[in-house]
Amino acid sequence: MVQGPHLRAFVDHAVRESQHFGRVFNAGAGECGYSPLLLALPEVRAVFESDFGWRVARPHRIDRRQVFFCGSLTSIPLMDERFDFVLCTEVLEHIVEHEDALNEIARVTAPGGWLVITVPTPPAIPDVMHVREGYRQNELAAMLTCRGFEIVAIRFCMYFFFRVLLEKWPKLRWRPRIAIRGLAVLDKLIPIGPPMDLMIFARMRNGTSASTAT
């Protein structure tokens, strides 16, 4: 509800610049909430979706073009320069070897391919599943730039109202969707306090080798 409009804006920008998205990678797809958005890209032949948490069960396929596999982003079992669009949302903060994960994402992104990556920003709400609190804008942008990506746009989302919601989330017995939507609107209209989420939209430079960074 909060990230969606920003992600759609990034996708619309990519579509205006590119007419073909043959292969797409949903890196750390989770429950595949953004799969419909990726499947709607022009001329998509296949959407590869992976998640390390799919060791037991995988999500339900909604389109024959989806290819599911369980794996870590530190060692992606796919060919170099394969994808025209990569989405990695709320994943990097879970990975100890995050430099290796970014190396792998850069490796599988085709020259001219697009990347959307989202991460929490410090100060973040404590989460036992996170190995780091989050990333600052300049830090993550530099990590992408040195791997061959050109930063196209940066946005922030999730402010005071969603921070309160997430702090109370584990204790809530019921979670009315209308209330969550209301908080999402308030966060957009009245962005109080520091943002909780950083969103970077980037493109792999043409004619540049996406060699791994040390």
Domains, the chain, in order of start with CATH, read 3-159+196-204 (3.40.50.150)
Q: Which two tokens stand for residue 130?
A: 């996170």
The residue-averaged pLDDT of 27-41 equals 95
pLDDT, tens digit, for every residue of 102-137? 999 999 999 999 999 999 998 877 788 899 989 999
Q: What is the helix (H) or strand (E) element at residue 50, kind and residue range?
A: strand 46-50
Of 16-25, 40-49, 116-125, 202-211, the poorest mean pLDDT is in 202-211
pLDDT value for 98 = 97
- Rounded CA gap, 84 and 11, in Å? 12
Q: Where are the beta strands (DSSP E) in 107-159?
A: 109-120, 149-157
CA 181 from chain centre, in angstroms, equals: 21
| CB-CB neighbours of 72 under 10 Å | 16
Distances, alpha carbon 84 to alpha carbons 1, 70, 160, 176, 203, in Å: 25, 21, 35, 37, 10
Residue 211 has pLDDT above 60, yes or no: no
pLDDT, tens digit, for every residue of 61-100? 999 999 999 999 999 999 999 999 999 999 999 999 999 9
pLDDT value for 214 = 39
The band of 164, judged by pLDDT with boundaries at 50, 70 and 90, is confident
Instruction: Specify the residue for token string 């921070």.
Output: 163
pLDDT value for 178 = 75
- Rounded CA gap, 186 and 57, in Å? 36
Q: Could you tell me the strand order of the sheet in which 83-89 lies?
A: 66-69, 46-50, 23-27, 83-89, 109-120, 197-204, 149-157
